[in-house]
Amino acid sequence: MKDLLLDLTAEVRARLQAPPGTRPQLLGCDEGWCLLRDDQGVHHRPLSECRPPAGPWDLAPLIDHTLLKAEATATQVEALCAEARQYGFASVCVNPVWVPLAAGLLKGSPVRTCTVVGFPLGAASARAKAFEAETALREGAQEVDMVLALGPVKSGQWDRVAEDLRELRIAVPAPATLKVILETCLLTDEEKARACGLALEAGLDFVKTSTGFSTGGATEADVALMRRAVGTAMGVKASGGIRTYEAALAMVLAGATRLGLSASVAVARGGAGSGAY
């Protein structure tokens, strides 16, 4: 299991450049074990040793610093990027209109530029999502979070769902990162597991819980279900309604290897924020 945990955290560890700060970084957890990184290297620890009151751990390398409000301004995106560089977040996640600005501001840094397509409903055609993704990549995006085609899921049209995922993987080839947002609050557990299986078959990099714009956000139960469904072969991103360090930590302990947050700075400091995402 320890070797599988190294596989699970490979994407995280590949991005790490700067040495850790004063707090050990929590990189991932699975099957009763966690991986911590400090100035002496990476270390396996039993899950019981990573739960509170242990820590607080540095979760910054797992955070997609997110601003997806329709009214977001250029000034706010500039501040988002500056914070991401300061704290060493994994990425900034912005709407497609701000990708060129974010990519320019983050050029030369380890912080990646992430955007969303088919957002927030997932109801656009696969061709439209693919075009949106291809445009974002040309403009500097390195990661794309697409929304699952929920209508076909609820209609039992799983072949159509699978084709949607395959077309987006073609539009977003490696080394770009492709995540699919399941909107778990609208799905049954069986639908969540089957969607995860199709994403794995299509070669996506992450499954993600929520847009943050529907009736509910991330839960520990959904993160754990998604981790079981994909094993260590994919990342799991928890997003939606995570506003405190304690909630963020719970998602990592449940199996998340990315966190979509708007309260990123507060969480990185071990506290609580008011962000809605």
Smallest Cα–Cα separation from 226: which of 248, 249, 258?
A: 258
Smallest Cα–Cα separation from 219: which of 253, 193, 177?
A: 253
What span, in angstroms and rounded, lies between the C-alpha atoms of 168 and 180?
10
The dihedral sign for the CA sequence 96, 99, 102, 103: positive
> Is 237 among the residues known to form the active site?
yes
Within 13 Å and on the Cβ side, how many CA atoms surround 247?
Answer: 22
What span, in angstroms and rounded, lies between the C-alpha atoms of 50 and 33?
9
Catalytic site residue from 129, 179, 192, 237:
237
Catalytic site residue from 145, 164, 205, 222:
145
Q: Which run of H or of E encompasses 81?
A: helix 74-87
> Is 192 among the residues known to form the active site?
no
> Is 3 among the residues known to form the active site?
no
Tokens of 251: 């998602």
Catalytic site residue from 129, 179, 192, 208:
208
Active site residue ranges: 145, 208, 237
